[in-house]
Structure 1
């Protein structure tokens, strides 16, 4: 993985997250229109090597402030998704997307930068019904769901990089906004023990820029991996569902909630897209009870269910 040095914002490569001396900080944010890429950071390093300047003085405000905050708190290394992945390499991009949940879970601290939350907002104001914190775009992005769940320590910062509070401090309002239970947010319950349907419901209402990312951003919370193929469209979500079926004996995957009846006539409905339905948030895992007499498995062309047949009735 590539990391920025917090003192100079220069990229360095490490074989794995575990190999980073002293650990690293990581950034969670909503992308803006003018994010700096891997290539632009490398170009800055070369130009500053000639001029003798510090590249950190020339990076974007977001990257510079993140590096400064990490350095102030004793971290030498920072990971920022916009510039720490060489997106011109499809292999590197796919590896990074499949590893992203791991990157966030192994970081020492995650800074969630809320560009739309003003500085000087106290805890009471943050929790108010119409607060800027509740309305923040950060809560609506697909990728930030795993960035909420994975880090051991998550700190929210305002538009001017002033501390707003930790995930623990804000767990009550976060539960209301994201529908993720406080026990999960506070690590009293591992989210991996919640049902597939519950985790899908947390993604409801979240959006991504690329259609395929609607699936790719959920791989981490289901602990599955698959190749990323930009251009495949909704096929990405089909493949995600198939991977979930292979890994979990949890029939809550088929809890369609408030799906209209006509939608169920289409095989496509088997691969339910989460942004449409929040009604399955309280569905518990169904592993051994309701479906205990059925052996169901997904095959290439659909759903195969083996069950006992009765000779009591005859249809001519």
Structure 2
């Protein structure tokens, strides 16, 4: 809650000289269907045009446990991982996981003498390559609401579908496939 918001704002101000910051878990009023609908449709663009995407890995203390953090299996985080130009990972104590300015600047080709770092392994596992790989991967992720896994993919595939909570995850996914094809 409040402590997470406070630390987030502190890091955004101190590290990135941010005047404004947006945190999905705090800044979306889930009780307002119109605001929720607008936020779901806008998040992709918000991440794309952000200066930096700050990610707190709440189950990670060191590189060793990073790739097993729940963040890499939560449905809404796919666009946070793929879309921003700059992404910074912080551990549960709000310590930067890497000294680089951008944790997203990764060499995607690894040779045996240079095994990937925990960050690189986690991102590789998460992003896959083509559409079918991403769909398969996304299907393994979890969301609290069944339809959310589908709604979180709209921006990634450049489509928009009716957001209708209660229609069920299968029907929502069918609508997504219709829009993609």
1:213 to 129, 148, 173: 148
User: Which of 1 and 2 has greater Rg?
Assistant: 1
Do 2:9 and 2:21's aligned partners in 1 also have CA atoms closer than 8 Å?
yes
Q: Which runs of 4+ in 1 moved over 4 A?
A: none
Q: Which residue of 2 aligns with 1:155?
A: 88
Q: Which residue of 2 aligns with 1:91?
A: 34
Alpha-carbon offset, residue 221 of structure 1 = 1.0
Q: Which has the higher contact order (CA 8 A, sep 6+)?
A: 2
Q: TM-score, normalised by structure 1?
A: 0.49
Per-residue deviation, residues 10-51 of structure 1 (Å, max 9, x unmatched): xxxxxxxxxxxxxxxxxxxxxxxxx4xxxxxxxxxxxxxxxx
Alpha-carbon offset, residue 225 of structure 1 = 1.1
- CA distance in 2: counterparts of 1:179 and 1:110, whole angstroms: 17
Where do 5+ consecutive residues of structure 1 fail to align? 1-34, 36-59, 182-194, 246-316
Alpha-carbon offset, residue 105 of structure 1 = 0.8
Q: TM-score, normalised by structure 2?
A: 0.83
The answer to whether 1:180 aligns with 2:128 is yes
Structure 2 counterparts to residues 236-247 of structure 1, below 5 A: 236-245=172-181
Do 1:140 and 1:205's aligned partners in 2 also have CA atoms closer than 8 Å?
yes
- CA distance in 2: counterparts of 1:175 and 1:156, whole angstroms: 12
Per-residue deviation, residues 222-249 of structure 1 (Å, max 9, x unmatched): 011122111111211111111111xxxx
- Number of aligned residue pairs: give it: 164
Do 1:94 and 1:227's aligned partners in 2 also have CA atoms closer than 8 Å?
no
Q: Which protein is richer in helix relative to its size?
A: 2
The answer to whether 1:106 aligns with 2:49 is yes
Q: Which protein is richer in strand relative to its size?
A: 1
Do 1:199 and 1:221's aligned partners in 2 also have CA atoms closer than 8 Å?
no
CA RMSD in angstroms comes to: 1.7
Farther-moved stretch of structure 1 (235-244 vs 198-207): 198-207
